[in-house]
Amino acid sequence: MKNLTKLNRMLLCIGALLIFSCSKNDDSPNGGDTQDGLEEQRPNIVELAGSVSVLSDLVEALEMADTGLTETLSANGAKTIFAPTNDAFDDFFKELDGYTSLKDFDEASEKQLLTQILKYHVVGTTKAFSSDLSDAKAFTTLQGEDIRVAINVDVFIQDKTNVDAKVVSADNEASNGVVHIIDKIMLPQTVIDTFFPKPTLIELVKETPNLSLLLEAMQKANLVETLNGEGPFTIFAPTNAAIEDLFTALGDGFNGFEDFDNVIEVELLSRILKYHVLPGNITAADLEPGNVPTLLTDNSIEIIASGNGFIIGDASEVDANITFMDNMASNGVIHGIDKILIPTEVQDFLEELGQVQEKTIKELVEENNDFSFLKEALQITGLLDVLDQDGPFTVFAPSNEALGSLLPLLGGDFNTIGDFDTEFEVDLLRDVLTYHLFSGRLTSSDLFIGEIPTLSGNNKIEIMFENGNYVLRDVTQLNASFLLTDIMAKNGVIHSIDRLLLPKSVLDDISNEANQVLLDFLARQDNLTDAFRVLSLVGSSLNNLLENEFTFFLPTNAAFLDLFDELEDFDSIADFNTAEEIELLVTLLKYHCVETGKINSGAFTDMQILPTAQGETLQINIDGSVFVQDKTEKMAKVTAPDKNILKGVIHVVDKVLLPQEIRNKLLLQ
């Protein structure tokens, strides 16, 4: 007997089990019908398993597992258990790193995993004999996931792996169910994901040599975090050769992703990549002809039937072939393609890029609706015809909204560009516009940190590099960001920017002497730079007030940061860049200015009501320190009182004061 093979030993044990389970029911025709009293005489499932040596590992596992599974399988009821043999356990351990026996399941989390595995072998609601195991029949297990029967001469049980478990001994009846012995540990998906975790999409891209440029692109476009997220996503992944074709299409200035060196180019790259990503887990079996939305809003790719497979259509005339399919990740799937997919807006850009640009700056401004305000302003000042000359010129072109922000800076008499109708006003407008013009062709790749002269006399623009992008800065210390760069013309280049640049000469023209004194004072206060920026922009609205006695509450930089944290669309003063938003700043500034003269901190009284230049009131509260109550629930504390200047006084406060008008417009609680 010592020379018996494993199989022979197992068959002997199974034979013994069959004798044990059937001897008490010899007259039962199908093993499922029992005589009176015999059901109670049979062992329960745990006792039955304990009597068979090839199931000793199963019994040990039940004893180790958490949540009282042994008690569950010993209790009365109708259950079906698919019992893996000791050899099945040995095969399972060989597939795992760090596990050689059940003793290695010694942590609480590992015992929970073992419990999940064991529950996946138990059907807790039915006593299913072999006659009940029909092909494709599914059973829900105690673990929650399903198993499925497959008949192929023998009976097999399908789990979530690619290998089925074979039933080697069926219909071993117990008092509370039936045991079918199988030759494999079955695994639910949750356990597979724990023991054999799939890589994320980004990790899968990293592991694929022919997608190394795609990885660089995703890193450059800041999409790594998104595609490492929960998803799921489907990526049509262009190969390295396909991405190199994109560099060729973009021209000599693009040889690698390091050449995407400004916010506009990175955004272009991001849009291209998002066009390759679909929401959902779309495998090869799920593909069907039709348009499918991508992560690029309002842009779909087309799945096109071709022979026995599919090709992918985009906005170009060339479709992409699928080179590989169903590389599965934990959060999606990757299909390889041999071409970059191009959305409509990018295709239009590439077609325009491929043409020789024969239009002047004047012609480009005239035909671009985004520059309609700029066109009108250039016409009024006579500068539009200048931009039809040889040049070359560089135009930092404010968008329509940005240029419109000039109007409230000048007061209530200016509602349209056409309101610049006196010689002084036209000269002032010309001064603003020439401050946006540089003599020479300065493309985005030519930008540098430093100052550049403009056509506005001695007024210079400062170029800075912040947060990975170039920005422009004027005398207000506010940044203008690029919306679109390198609109090439025959006589120069246009860059679209998101805010109006103001030269010092114009600020001097629209501010009185008192305003300038106040600005000079604020420029020397490190904690009042945001207040300086607001005064630079809209301080002219206080010209008359500053010539008399005044009381001014000025918030610190930290106070402005607290305000921006409450606002969804504003991260800095620079984000107030439309006419409506500039009006908000005027309202805000006037609410900080008291109309009733100069009041030093010692003259404040508790519950004192102060009328403001904005029209609403403030209230003083004295509680050890001086506090100012606006129309919110939180009071501002005076942190630095009695800064005497001109005919008035400044009190520094730790909160931006908000009138009800502002709260209503910004929908603040």
pLDDT at 443: 86
Determine the average pLDDT of the residues in 97-102: 88
Query: What number of other Cβ atoms are within 10 A of residue 202's Cβ?
Result: 21
Could you please report the per-residue DSSP string of 642-668?
Answer: EEEETTEEEEEESS----HHHHHHHT-
pLDDT over 70 (residue 5)? no
Strands 437-439 and 450-453, sheet pairing: unpaired
Separation between Cα atoms, residue 369 and residue 399, nearest integer Å: 10
Domains and CATH numbers, the chain: 6-195 (2.30.180.10), 201-352 (2.30.180.10), 356-505 (2.30.180.10), 511-666 (2.30.180.10)
Tell me the CA distances in angstroms from 538 to 382, 461, 511, 643, 644, one per residue in order.
27, 20, 9, 21, 21
pLDDT at 11: 40
pLDDT at 502: 84
pLDDT tier at 96, thresholds 50, 70, 90: confident
pLDDT at 668: 55
pLDDT over 90 (residue 531)? no
pLDDT in tens, 392-415: 899 999 988 888 777 666 655 666
pLDDT at 14: 44
pTM of structure: 0.42
pLDDT over 60 (residue 301)? yes
In sign, the C-alpha dihedral spanning 618, 620, 623, 625 is: positive
Separation between Cα atoms, residue 636 and residue 656, nearest integer Å: 8
Separation between Cα atoms, residue 55 and residue 146, nearest integer Å: 23
Q: Terminal CA-to-CA distance of the chain, rounded, Å? A: 85
pLDDT over 90 (residue 369)? no
pLDDT tier at 625, thresholds 50, 70, 90: very high
Whose CA is closest to 10, among 63, 69, 81, 89?
89
Query: CA geometry: angle at 519 spanning 513 and 524, to 5°?
Result: 135
Quick one: DSSP state of residue 319? P
Query: CA geometry: angle at 89 spanning 32 and 138, to 5°?
Result: 45
In terms of Cβ atoms closer than 10 Å to its own Cβ (0-12, 13-18, 19+), residue 342 is: buried
Determine the average pLDDT of the residues in 170-186: 96
Query: CA geometry: angle at 546 spanning 541 and 550, to 5°?
Result: 115
Query: Given the structure tokens 């093993």, which residue do they identify?
Result: 31
The b/e string for 42-73 (b: 16+ C-beta within 10 A; e otherwise) is: bbbbbebbbebebbebbbebbebbeeebbebb
Determine the average pLDDT of the residues in 166-170: 96
Dihedral class, residue 255 (left if φ above 0, else alpha if ψ from -120 to 50, else beta): alpha
pLDDT over 50 (residue 339)? yes
pLDDT at 340: 93
Whose CA is closest to 74, among 42, 104, 101, 102?
42
